[in-house]
Structure 1
């Protein structure tokens, strides 16, 4: 057991509880994820009415408060989330400690859409864009501690299921984007992280489980070929921890209905174990 870990469980996908990717967090909890933490908190918005936008940002406010409290108590906050957007709340909670925060975002997708660019209307495809202040700034500003992260303090790893228009936006942004072929180059990855380490003090490690190759098992209905192996994802974590204190993490977007023989579940649990072993509390 890692006594310093506070496990936050947000079992929602697009405002719906315990369905689709929202079923993943509780399934991981039932499979033993809680044994890796001293403290487990399942987060639920107040009231019975659920709406995607309102519920997502209410969850982020709950996450931010829990993360700030965990940091104050010397714990490492780790979020199990149905959607990637929950990381916005983690970043807001970390900001309360006054450190410069870097973000390592592993995902099959860019999550860098804005409402005007996103024909699908899927809020979670805008998660990283929200984190850096490209959209939804007013509602994000109601999350305690939220400050848009500078784009240059973000490293996007493993994204490959992007349109040409999305790729053009990513290339013109300030973040570092390492598609799978580049992410597999340990020297390039280490150099990119070393550059980030020159600007930030601590690191949040975000993993959408569909960054993995679906040959393991599809993480969700958005899985795409040419993903990273479980070993390659763990290598990214190891290289990151060698450069910067990893002080928090998110595991997101596992839909158990797409799993095969619990293979992605077991990959997620193994990765969670690696994270809890590598992460350290924020220095006070």
Structure 2
């Protein structure tokens, strides 16, 4: 049995506005750690990193807002994940915003581990500062920087021991409902939009894993809660209403985390302010995640 290394990264530095920095504390209060342990997991709690709240610091060159703050969070997260890997634990990073996946992939690369990425997200995060100067928010640009696409911010695209950190064939987009973001046709990755996932999420997950593991045997799962229809689970920082149900998403994620190539998970974009004030939304999310990680007996 693998040991899960739980790490909280309470940051909204790269987000559209504050809120996500409260996610790790809300999920802890909802019993996430205890639920994971009760499900039969071997678990080590690596604690939470310092809280980093959103601030308005526009870049003079039109680059991402608060770039220095974003880089500080990524550097700190990479160091923490590096320790988790050194301890031979499987990282489960509870964020925080989508850019955290850059830090996690960078930590794996620096440790000499080749991994793919299954991007379970309502969008593909392929926006670049060059294409979207009117919305300079790094949160929607994570994969663009992992792939070092033209027009990205050099400090983010170069955040790792190599550049790019990933190639397009190492990435699989899963469950997205937003419009196609590869407007220049530069990213020939595997794609499973919501319409192809909804009829049979587990079958779609197996196809996605076959695609990723044909290139690299191990993979990370990026799980953005905005892949879930906001009316089914009011959790996402930026709501969308065309997504999958929580049950459909976690059915697919269960297949992913039980695969022998599973190397870690990053949970992102939960804004507790959008859920029920009694904490029941956080509890539903915590219970769903723990159920997905329940070991097969």
TM-score for the superposition, normalised by structure 1: 0.84
* Shift, 1:59, TM fit: 1.3
SS in 2 for 1:12: coil
Task: Specify whether residues 100 and 242 from structure 1 end up closer, same or farther in structure 2 by C-alpha distance, changes over 3 A only.
Answer: same
Q: What is the CA–CA distance in structure 1 between the aligned matches of 2:294 and 2:163, rounded to whole Å?
A: 27
SS in 2 for 1:207: strand
SS in 2 for 1:111: coil
Say whether the 8 Å CA contact 1:89–1:146 is kept in structure 2. no
Matched, 1:236 2:252: yes
Map of 1:105-116 to 2, 5 A cutoff? 105-116=119-130
- What corresponds to 1:227 in structure 2? 243
Matched, 1:182 2:199: no
- What corresponds to 1:23 in structure 2? 22
Aligned partner of 1:137 among 149, 154, 166? 154
Greater alpha carbon shift after TM alignment, 260-269 vs 226-235? 260-269
For structure 2, the residue ranges without an aligned partner over 5 or more in a row are: 37-42, 58-65
Q: What is the CA–CA distance in structure 2 between the aligned matches of 1:275 and 1:145, rounded to whole Å?
A: 33
Say whether the 8 Å CA contact 2:14–2:138 is kept in structure 1. no
* Shift, 1:13, TM fit: 0.9
SS in 2 for 1:220: coil
Task: Specify whether residues 21 and 241 from structure 1 end up closer, same or farther in structure 2 by C-alpha distance, changes over 3 A only.
Answer: closer
Q: What is the CA–CA distance in structure 2 between the aligned matches of 1:76 and 1:275, rounded to whole Å?
A: 15
- What corresponds to 2:11 in structure 1? 12
* Shift, 1:4, TM fit: 1.9
Say whether the 8 Å CA contact 1:197–1:243 is kept in structure 2. no
Say whether the 8 Å CA contact 1:92–1:147 is kept in structure 2. no
- What corresponds to 1:266 in structure 2? 283
TM-score for the superposition, normalised by structure 2: 0.80
- What corresponds to 1:217 in structure 2? 233
Q: What is the CA–CA distance in structure 2 between the aligned matches of 1:145 and 1:44, rounded to whole Å?
A: 27
Q: What is the CA–CA distance in structure 2 between the aligned matches of 1:98 and 1:7, rounded to whole Å?
A: 21
- What corresponds to 2:45 in structure 1? 39
* Shift, 1:239, TM fit: 2.9
- What corresponds to 1:199 in structure 2? 215
Q: What is the CA–CA distance in structure 1 between the aligned matches of 2:294 and 2:263, rounded to whole Å?
A: 11
For structure 1, the residue ranges without an aligned partner over 5 or more in a row are: 280-284
- CA RMSD, Structure 1 to Structure 2 (Å): 2.9
Per-residue CA deviation, residues 188-227 of structure 1 (Å, 9 max, x unaligned), is 4422321221111211111111111112232235211121
Q: Which has the higher helix share?
A: 1
* Shift, 1:243, TM fit: 4.6
Task: Specify whether residues 244 and 151 from structure 1 end up closer, same or farther in structure 2 by C-alpha distance, changes over 3 A only.
Answer: farther
Q: How many residue pairs align between the two structures? A: 272
Matched, 1:127 2:133: no
Matched, 1:247 2:231: no
Task: Specify whether residues 75 and 122 from structure 1 end up closer, same or farther in structure 2 by C-alpha distance, changes over 3 A only.
Answer: same
- What corresponds to 1:282 in structure 2? none
Task: Specify whether residues 213 and 72 from structure 1 end up closer, same or farther in structure 2 by C-alpha distance, changes over 3 A only.
Answer: same
